[in-house]
Amino acid sequence: MTATRTLTALTVLIALSLSACNSTPITEAPVNPMTPLEAQTQAMKLWRDDDRAQHPKGSCSGCHGADFYDLARIGSTQVDILRRAKIDGATAQEAAALAQAIQQIRARDSLPLENPRTFRPFQPGGAVLAGLTPLERDINFARELEPLLPTLFGTRIDSLEAAKKARAELMDLIKGENAGGANSSRMNLRSLPTGIQYPLWSADLAQGESEGTLNDWLADIALDATPEFKTQWHALQDAYLGNSSDENFWKMYAAVPQMTATKPFERCTIGGINPNLACGAVDDFALHKLRSAMIGQHLMRTQHAARAGFAQGPLAFSYLDNASYIAKSDFLSGGDMWEIGDSARTMMDENQNAGSLRVTLERLGLPKFVRESVSAITSVSAEQQRLRLTWFWIGFTFEPSFARISGSNSTKVGEYMVGSLIDENMHLHNAFSQNVRLIAKGYLPEANVKTSGSKLTLETPAFLMNYGYFIGYGRPVLHWNEDRKNPLPVALKLEQEGLWQRFVGNGFRMSMYLQMDSLDTADAATKAKLLENLRVTTAGVTTQKWGADAIKPFFDTYEPKYDSYTPLEYRADLDLMNALNAKIGVSSSY
């Protein structure tokens, strides 16, 4: 009876959505001719069918989302729709119904169709920056940034006024504004072209080795409703399909962890330092992929309809703090893109042997259909790096302060993003993301949060100079990871080094001036918290822990060797470090 009611309600919703639809014919005739309503009804029944005997991968909705809007939007071909539907267990009639229903959505909404083999949803500027190598793309990224951040790429920052100007230019990019006067197009992080290539919506090994990857938007194993929640889960999906409001979306999104689950396949036998952590990351990876696909599909809908409001401001989903329709225990909502990269890091090792990816996926307990969807020659290390680099950057553009992505301290200082960018020689992307993180965290009220378990509280905004892993472990000195048999071009290395040296040096100076200003203007309680993070006292001796011992080697290495920097200016940098130490109560001998 319940199932009948659900299907009847769904049929009504479909009828309403098709009332103004003049569908275009599919290029291959269905097994039996269908009216638009029949095609949609059959397609949605197939979409939700989670009978593993017929559909070993689980339901389509368990990977894509509530419906097949994404397939309509990205321009999947008739041939591919029919082929993949049948591979996943659909009958010829069901596959034809799905293909026809997708055509009907395209016609109803007048969707522009993209080539699914080249279209990378939400890639800023529509395409990755030019360059055959990460080094070239990193340089082109800096060229994009120079006119937007003229102070950080300019002459030496030598005053608080100049530091505030640099901050204003960064804040303009973070907020999509032009208060500083260098961002007339009001570029923001989600529209700023990058040298990092975003993933295809759905990779398909049948299209070639380059698509034999887990690095796409869709989950590789479905999350389907558990028996006790199936009725409620489908009701949430029906409500969303009847009215795709942001409120209905978030209600559905928030219910995923409680109402759905992956079904067990094979036992995880992975080794390593913490096998339980790696095995657990498999389910996390699927969960974050599904919720990211749901966010992506909703973005497709709202962007095409020119509906603003879903992703608001620099911290795209912080408005949910005040939303009555989502539980406050889900305060990290929207951090799934970042978590895809982090789950991949947790469940994969550094094995560089060709073909090791399939072996590792088997040890993780992933089924044959997942293992056979990836290239037979790809290494685990290469796949992990690809996933980390892509999804950390996407997560960063949605939450540049890193404060709300995860409760992990490693995440809050960008530890693994730093490592991923260094491994690709993308040092300017790295420096940019770390300076953005500091400014966003220091000056956006919504980024000044404290998390404890599921509780989130806002704190008084205050700038804290915490470069963390960016300047730790010997990283302040630029270096390249390169194959000696294929050395990087010297001219490109020198150009990257020059851009990096100016940007990083001025970033350090900006931060030191802003840190002293923050200490001067903070209330007593906030200043005490800042000092707690800037210095440490042991056995009556107070020393700094804001990074001077790591920053000084940068000035030692780079400033004296450039003609435009005189020894007097180098001395000024040391004096600036001494001034900050004095401000926090530490004697200095630089």
Q: Which of 338, 364, 399 marks a domain boundary?
A: 399
- Which of 363, 374, 483, 475 is closest to 420 using CA atoms? 475
94 phi, psi to nearest 5 deg:
-65, -45
Is 527 part of any domain? yes
- Both ends of the chain: CA-CA distance in Å? 79
Does residue 386 sit in the same domain as residue 488? no
- Is 148 inside a domain boundary? yes
Same domain, residue pair 520 and 549: yes
Q: Residue 520 CA to chain centroid, in angstroms? A: 35
* pLDDT score at 481: 83
Digit-by-digit pLDDT tens for the chain (590 residues) are 444 444 444 443 443 343 333 333 344 444 567 999 999 999 999 999 999 889 988 999 999 999 999 999 999 889 999 999 999 899 999 999 999 999 999 999 999 999 999 999 999 999 999 999 999 999 999 999 999 999 999 999 999 999 999 999 999 999 999 999 999 999 999 999 999 999 999 999 999 999 999 999 999 999 999 999 999 999 999 999 999 999 999 999 999 999 999 987 889 999 876 788 999 999 999 999 999 999 999 999 999 999 999 999 999 999 988 888 887 665 567 889 999 999 999 999 989 999 999 999 999 999 999 999 999 999 999 999 999 999 999 999 999 999 888 878 888 899 999 999 999 999 999 999 999 999 999 999 999 988 776 677 888 999 999 998 999 888 888 888 887 888 889 999 999 999 999 999 999 999 999 999 999 999 999 999 999 999 998 888 889 999 998 899 888 888 655 545 567 788 899 999 999 999 999 987 78
Number of domains in the chain: 3
In a domain, 128, yes or no: no
Q: For the purposes of burial, counting CB atoms within 10 Å of the CB of 243, is it exposed (0-12), middle (13-18) or buried (19 or more)?
A: exposed
The Cα 115–Cα 112 span in angstroms is: 10
Residue 25: domain span: 1-119
Examine the domain organization and report whether 379 and 408 are in the same domain: no
3-state secondary structure of 30: coil
Is 126 a member of any domain? no
Q: Is there a contact between 385 and 426 (Cβ–Cβ < 8 Å)?
A: no
C-alpha to C-alpha distance for 315 and 461, rounded to whole angstroms: 15
Q: Is 201 contained in some domain?
A: no
Taking Cα atoms as reference points, which of 177, 165, 170, 174 lies closest to residue 517? 165
The answer to the question of residue 205 being in a domain is: no
Do 404 and 394 share a structural domain? Answer: no
Sign of CA dihedral 174, 177, 179, 181: positive
What's the confidence (pLDDT) of residue 528?
A: 95
Q: Which of 399, 431, 451 corresponds to the end of one domain?
A: 399
Structure tokens at 163: 């530091």
Q: Would you give the DSSP letter of residue 547? A: S
Do residue 348 and residue 405 come from a single domain?
Answer: no
Could you say which of 119, 144, 174 is where a domain stops? Answer: 119
Question: Is 70 found in the same domain as 99?
Answer: yes
Do 155 and 248 lie in a common domain? no
**What does the pLDDT read at residue 256?**
95
Same domain, yes or no: 345 and 485: no
Q: What is the pLDDT of residue 330?
A: 59
**Residue 204 within any structural domain of the chain:** no
Residues 489 and 416 in one domain: yes
Does 590 reside within a domain?
no
45 and 156 both lie in a single domain: no
- Is the pTM of the predicted complex or chain greater than 0.85? yes
Q: What is the pLDDT of residue 564?
A: 53
Which alpha helices (DSSP H) does 372-451 contain, by range? 380-398, 409-412, 415-423, 427-443
Cβ atoms of residues 580 and 531 within 8 Å: no
Q: How far apart are CA 124 and CA 191, in angstroms?
A: 5
156 and 265 part of one domain: no
| pLDDT of the residue at 12 | 37
Q: Are residues 546 and 447 in the same domain?
A: yes
